Amino acid sequence: MNKILRLGVLWASLFVLFQACHVQAQNKIKVGFISAQSGPLNVLGLEQKRGVEIALDHLGGKFGSYPFEIVAADSKGNPSATVQEISRLIDKEKVDVIVGLSASNELVAGVKPISDAKVFFIGMNGGVAVNAGEQCSPYYFNAAFQNAQLTTGMGAFMSKQGVKKLYLIGADFEAGYEHTNAAKTGFKGEIVAQQFTPLTQLDFAADIAKIRASGADGVFAFYPGGLGIAFMRQWAQAGLVGKIPVFSNIALTEPTAFQAQGKSVLGTYVSTVYFAGIDNPTNKQFVQDFKAKFGRDPASYAGLAYDAMMLLDSAVKEVKGNIKDEKAFRAALKKADFQSVRGSFAFSSNNHPIINTYLTMVDERSDGSLYLKPTAIIAEKSPDDFVKKCPMK
Amino acid sequence: MEQVFNGLQLGMILFLMAVGVTLTFGVMNLINLAHGAILMVGAFFIAFTTSTIPSFGLAVLAALFLVFTLAWLVEVLLVKHLYSKSHLDQVLATFGLSIVLNDGVIMIWGREPLYVNLPSWLEGAVQITPGFSYPLYRLAITGVAILAGLALWLLLTKSRLGMQIRGGAEKREMIGALGVNINFLFTSVFALSAILAALGGIMLGPMISVQSGMGDPLLILSLAVVVIGGVGSLKGALYAAILVGLVDTLGRMLWPVMFGDIVGNIVSNSAIYILMAVVIAIRPSGLFGRRISV
């Protein structure tokens, strides 16, 4: 009897405890953060996570006075894992809003199921063309950039640098196609080849030999994360540094890669929408805190992830925590009333940003560490190329 | 010309992998899907030893010793119990082992890729003919792989252990009946194949980034090599590895010229598997395989 009584009390108290937890959990806003923590592009996701961490430090677990929690998911750089994890976040975890995604192939697969479930999604890295154009969605905001925005102007710049025969090479996925295509725009010489290698391929000996044999006098290479490190190291081992110039956007050579790439990237020109040296108070604070925590400059993935979190913060505050009010929440996101690490920030009608694109060069500090030195502004407060194809107004 | 070098080099690394796969299958009748993970472990060990031991040569030896110890332990604790099990059980267990190893290195070294810095005497490129220079390190890799191949050939043809291994690969039951210490033989073969795979990983380390799962694509390629060459055949592994290496690298050059950029890209990424399908269709037991009676 005594035993039964005790058991009963135990169950009752557990039940109460469970209820209490449940109520508390319901008060918190649940933010799903999905990024590639493993797989060939995990350098991107790991850096995004660091950016989110700094944002969490700054926000202190609350959007204004509204507490939130992060539910993390690993998209693995592959579309099927992305879709699977998204349905877990939505159906099982019942998150209120999703942020993140690292690679363009994840976006191609992921944006639609999120939008179909009428969950808001804020992209933290380059958006793909269809999602900015024909298939734009009222539930999808990209706080980072549209892929072509990152590479815009590189074609014209390579011509200006005297490149006559250009070899385009990139990883075989959506971003590879979009960036190499964007690099063709404005280029006046001959395109020798446009080649793609599998995302899992890390040995580029055959491809580098092919570039050398092609007689190209300039290369545009799109290899993000670990791929870029492997490519540039092998490029240097082949003795081609200083012989054939390599151009790219920031994906090829970021602060995440500097130490491993070393001198092989010194003097390389890359275009970007974010670099640690952008001069405004928000970015100064962000870079300072990032450096204190991780010991180096933040890469673009971190800066853009930070922006996405701050955008979400501004919108939740604007609707006073009531993010179930779709119309108001959408309007609040669209307003983009937050201090971006990029300075000015606004959304076009397709929910993709109007931003600057910079030309930067990898340079050396007096202590031997590398950094991105801005040399020009390629595009100023410019929308993406696909905004006209988007039916949203 | 440069592509032939690249093809040979890829072929030799695949050979080091494939020999292990084909030996363990031939001698112990074991399908080892953890072989790619062992290559990765080798690469992690070299990243670890080069960061603590200043001499590159010593670091390589230390890494090989670590792999040897690990393989010995794995054989005695786990793999030993699989020899009598069905192939499906072996696939499940060794696949599980590869997951354990892949996640184990994440727990120890984290998810960030590691990089192995080359000693200065291996950096740079060598001028072979005017206008054609080739990375010194890649030459060294090919050299080491050929040496390893030669050493293996000597071991297999000239030594007592080698004779037993070859005997085991031909007729397992006979070797047991002759009173050879099967347990010791099997452990040695497993450790030997692990060392060869790890050697591949050690040589790849400075070229590509060292990260969890890096060996798995190579395992798939080396399985293709083993199937093309004939399961259990050492000669087959050598020829097929070089064939696959050359088809892959030269194909990358030729297909786009023949079929245009888009189709060429697709063909060059799948050429090896097309080759494998053709070989299986014509000779189901591989180029040098024994006829398999079903």
CB distance A229–B115 less than 8 Å? yes
Give B-chain residues touching A226 at CB under 8 angstroms: 113, 209, 211
- In the predicted structure, residue B293 carries a pLDDT above the cut 50: no
Give the one of B113, B125, B265 whose C-beta lies nearest to A43's C-beta. B113
Predicted ipTM?
0.76
Residues B196-246: pLDDT tens digits? 999 999 988 888 878 888 888 889 989 999 999 888 778 888 899 999 999
pLDDT for position A286: 97
pLDDT for position A22: 52
Check: CB of residue A348 under 8 Å from CB of residue A142: no
Instruction: List Cα–Cα distances, A5 to A8, A12, A18, A111, B184, in angstroms.
Output: 5, 10, 20, 53, 61
Pick the CATH number of A22-146+278-355 from 3.30.1740.10, 1.10.1040.10, 3.30.413.10, 3.40.50.2300: 3.40.50.2300
What's this model's pTM, rounded to 2 decimal places?
A: 0.84
Give A-chain residues touching B113 at CB under 8 angstroms: 43, 226, 229, 260
Residue extents of the structural domains in chain A: 22-146+278-355, 149-274+359-382
Residues A113-155: pLDDT tens digits? 999 999 999 999 999 999 999 999 999 999 999 999 999 999 9
* Domain A22-146+278-355 identical in fold to domain A149-274+359-382: yes
Residue A4 near chain B (CB below 8 Å) = no
Check: CB of residue B193 under 8 Å from CB of residue B19: yes
CB distance A212–B249 less than 8 Å? no
For residue A151, give the H/E element and its range: helix A147-151
pLDDT for position B294: 37
- A149-274+359-382 belongs to which CATH class? alpha beta
If pLDDT is split at 50, 70 and 90, which confidence band does A307 have? very high
Give A-chain residues touching B213 at CB under 8 angstroms: 38-39
If pLDDT is split at 50, 70 and 90, which confidence band does A273 have? very high
Residue B3 near chain A (CB below 8 Å) = yes
- In the predicted structure, residue B133 carries a pLDDT above the cut 90: no
Q: Once rounded to an integer, what is the mean pLDDT over residues A83-92? A: 95
pLDDT for position A281: 95
Give B-chain residues touching A37 at CB under 8 angstroms: 111
Adjacent-strand bridge partners of A218: A166
Identify the weakest region by mean pLDDT among A6-10, A89-93, B113-117, B246-250. A6-10
Residue B14 near chain A (CB below 8 Å) = no
DSSP string computed for A226-263: HHHHHHHHHHHHTT-TTTS-EEEETTTS-TTTHHHHGG
Give the one of B106, B115, B248 whose C-beta lies nearest to A260's C-beta. B115
Check: CB of residue B44 under 8 Å from CB of residue B214: no
- In the predicted structure, residue A7 carries a pLDDT above the cut 80: no
